[in-house]
Chain A
Amino acid sequence: MLKRCILAENRKLHASPIWAMFFVLPILSATYGTFNYLQNLEILTDGWYSLWTQHTLFYSMLFFPAMVATYAAYLWRLEHLGHNWNLIMASPVPPLDLFAAKFAVVTKLALLTHGFVFALFVFCGKVFAHLPGLPPVTLPLFLLRGLLGALAVIAAQLVLAMIIRSFAVPIFLGLLGGITGIFISSKGHGLLWPYSLMQLGMNSNRSADALVGSYGLFAFSCIFWLGTMFLLAWLLLRWEDVRA
């Protein structure tokens, strides 16, 4: 049943305007990052690492949560339109499968976005910044860590978009989540807040690894928030009923 739900969710993305954002945001982020790197070569002397910070700084802190929020809100909006909510509540599908299918599809989009970000990073590094060799292995690792952290953000945004019937409000809350993540990270409590996890994983604002010695705690925090959001979604969907 979950597989069928995933196929249905994938079909909803066909010819969706969401793909425009998928391409535009990473390109803008890469353009700005490369420009800023080339303008500050006297300060940014760490080669690929410096370019990485410029490419991913605003992307991971502010715009990734908003982008994921848009993906999530778009998928739930369809259920909030017309009588679709009653339809899904009355369909012979375990409610958590609906949530898990949406989670799988948004995760797929986030994975593709991350891949696109990395491709742009390598392209800009070679073509515009003329950096030698290939990026260090640690940078794709940062990207994977970022994706692990992003899972909590995706689940949180899906819960918000499920509860709030408005399309716009969860997106704004996603942006707010990113901002609160910056502050909580700056106070050193980033591992306690889901919106900080992706930022920490990406290591986008420092040359030294932000997670040295705390990989276990990072993984635990990611799993904890992911589990909490799934549990919350399950409870809410069990409690929710048709709206006659």
Chain B
Amino acid sequence: MNRAHRAALALASLAAVATVAVACGPKEIVPPEVGPKLTVTSTTTQDSAPKEELRMVPAEAYMRTYLTLFGGLAPLEVQKRARGADGAQLFDTWDDYFASLGFPDYRIDMPRSQQTNALMVATFERLGVALCDRAVEHDLKAKPPVNERVVFAFEIPPSGATLDKAAFETRFDVLHRTFLAYPAKLAPTDRTARFFKLYEDVHKRHAAAPGKPRLSADEVAWANVCYGLVRHPEFHLY
């Protein structure tokens, strides 16, 4: 063993002894240290409201509201009118919607639905579209006196014209009160602006569409605003 080898061996032995000595040595103590202060980047109010789930509007109340919005007719009469000449394209039958609306069926011990599901949301959609389309036909196309209109209780400009934001707001407020029962200006979000954009977009797109559609651009735009409200979560919850 030459000198270099001996030195390497001694070094290795020293390293092994040191490793064992450190591993079995006393625990290292990290002294506490004061860190930098957290800087305030934004402030918000603590929400201390009780976090209960929102109640779903009972199926009976939904249906009664629907009948009221259809002019206070009986269910079978509403079914007849909603189907109109379109048959099942717009509205099937109440029997078809009975279970998906969440009604309990005591005959088969099916309980009341306490929360939504995909089929229920699809049913809300279908019923909402039928309501809005028939309301457009009744209120905007047939043009009865405004006080006889249940949904679109306002005048719209002659065909082809569009509304400015201020004119839209007053009309939208009528619909907002009809469906959500409070003024649009109290909505917790910029709802009026968003619905105005929807109105404008639909109006523009429909005006540019070829052919002679059943509804005018303004009627379709209002129908779409109506769809948005009749399917809004706030409409189905309370």
Partners in one complex: no
B-side residues, CB < 8 A to A, are none
